[in-house]
Amino acid sequence: MKLAILGPSENVSAYTTKRLIEEARKEMKVKQIPLVDVELKIDKSLDAIHEKESLSEYDYILPRIDSKRAEIGYPVVRFLDHMEVKKPYVAETILIAHNKFLTLEQFVKNGISVPETYLTASKNIAKDILGKQKFPIILKLLSGFGGQGVMVMDTKEAAETVIEAMKTLQQKILIEKFIVNPGEDIRGIVAGDEVIASFKRIALNGERRANIKLGGRGVAFKLSDEMEDICIKCARAIKSEICAVDMIEGKDGIQVIEVNINPGLQGIEKATNINVAQRIIDFVKSEIKR
Ligand SMILES: Nc1ncnc2c1ncn2[C@@H]1O[C@H](COP(=O)(O)OP(=O)(O)OP(=O)(O)O)[C@@H](O)[C@H]1O
Ligand SMILES: [Mg+2]
């Protein structure tokens, strides 16, 4: 069995890539292929090549494409779609998952509850929308991570100031209802038809965003059957076999806020003591054999 981890270069690899390689090496041959080193060739047919070898030689390709690498990753995964190489998602997934608004659009189309959300490029429309909202409200950048780019606004005046700034920075404006909750974000990691691990992130005192990068604390948490079903539905909605689904439980039930096709494993492995990397590799193995 031959696996390629497609994404970062070896010298910038973080915890998760290292862990996946470490677990995979116990079972199969693994090669780390930096996206920047892939050659795409259009001739009578299409090929994606690394060090003179076609990527179609691999039994499975596990992309690690974060939002910074989405632009370079998209055409490569698109070629792999045509080449019919086994991998967890299609090129379209990259566009959807790295855009919080398109993610919510897919979820709603698939009957999954999400917070009421608006998108506009016009500050006047944004101000009109704000006029009809209760506060706090959330303003988000379309593609952020680690809580950076998520702003909880307590007043209309504060929100308008940020909207002016977003406009100046030529950002679209995503306005999302704030789900009243205890400052907890619930994450399930999906591989195939299963949730292989889950945990909860609890926000630092005085902070409403539960991200670990913002001081949040990860604790083991078993999902309810309903939450598990939601996670699987979300993964299908974005056409990804492997992903993390983030939910918030508010008074109106569970609402999904985002999905991550490049989930970090450090926080969840530490909080749960589950070898999540191994479970992902187990899934990859079963896909190769399928
Ligand atoms: N609609 C909402 N209502 C209440 N809290 C929210 C809402 N959206 C986001 N949050 C809080 O803000 C945090 C960050 O939001 P979100 O997950 O969208 O951003 P992120 O920067 O992409 O995070 P990640 O690093 O998980 O990708 C969430 O973990 C949650 O605690
Ligand atoms: Mg998040």
What's the pLDDT at 143? 84
Smallest CA-to-CA distance from 197 within 112, 140, 277 is with 277
For the CA of 184, the closest atom of ligand 1 is: 31
Q: What's the rounded Cα separation, in Å, for the pair 187 and 179?
A: 16
The angle subtended at Cα 145 by Cα 278 and Cα 283, nearest 5°, is 20
Kindly state the average pLDDT of the residues 148-174: 94
Contact predicate 244/234, CB 8 Å? no
Tell me, what DSSP letter sits at residue 11? G
What's the pLDDT at 12? 64
Residue range 65-117, pLDDT digits in tens? 999 899 999 999 999 999 999 999 999 999 999 999 999 999 999 999 999 99
Question: How far away, in angstroms, is 14 Cα from ligand 2 center?
Answer: 18
What's the pLDDT at 11? 67
Fold agreement (2-96, 181-289): no
pTM over 0.95? The answer is yes
pLDDT at 147 exceeding the cut of 90:
no
Q: What percent of the chain has pLDDT over 70?
A: 99
One CATH from 3.40.50.12780, 3.90.226.10, 3.30.1490.20, 3.20.20.70 for 117-177: 3.30.1490.20
Domain segments of the chain as ranges: 2-96, 117-177, 181-289
Mean pLDDT, all residues of the chain: 96
Q: What's the rounded Cα separation, in Å, for the pair 265 and 278?
A: 11
For the CA of 178, the closest atom of ligand 1 is: 3
Smallest CA-to-CA distance from 239 within 101, 100, 95, 141 is with 95
Q: Would you say the CB of residue 269 lies under 6 angstroms from ligand 1?
A: no
What's the pLDDT at 55? 98
pLDDT at 144 exceeding the cut of 80:
no
Kindly state the average pLDDT of the residues 246-253: 96
Kindly state the average pLDDT of the residues 238-250: 98
What's the pLDDT at 13? 64
Q: Would you say the CB of residue 144 lies under 6 angstroms from ligand 1?
A: yes
Q: Which CATH class is domain 181-289?
A: alpha beta
Residues with CB under 5 A from ligand 2 (ion): 246
At 160, is the secondary structure helix, strand, or coil?
helix
What's the pLDDT at 211? 93
pLDDT at 154 exceeding the cut of 70:
yes
Q: Would you say the CB of residue 255 lies under 6 angstroms from ligand 1?
A: no
Residue range 6-60, pLDDT digits in tens? 998 876 668 999 999 999 999 999 999 999 999 999 999 999 999 999 999 999 9
The number of residues making up the chain comes to 290
Structure tokens at 167: 């406009």
Question: CATH code for 2-96?
Answer: 3.40.50.20
Tell me, what DSSP letter sits at residue 44? S
For the CA of 203, the closest atom of ligand 1 is: 31
What's the pLDDT at 145? 78
Per-residue exposure over 121-140, b if at least 16 CB sit within 10 Å of its own CB, e if not: eeeeebbebbeebeebbbbb
Sign of CA dihedral 169, 171, 177, 181: negative
Other Cβ atoms closer than 10 A to 162: 14
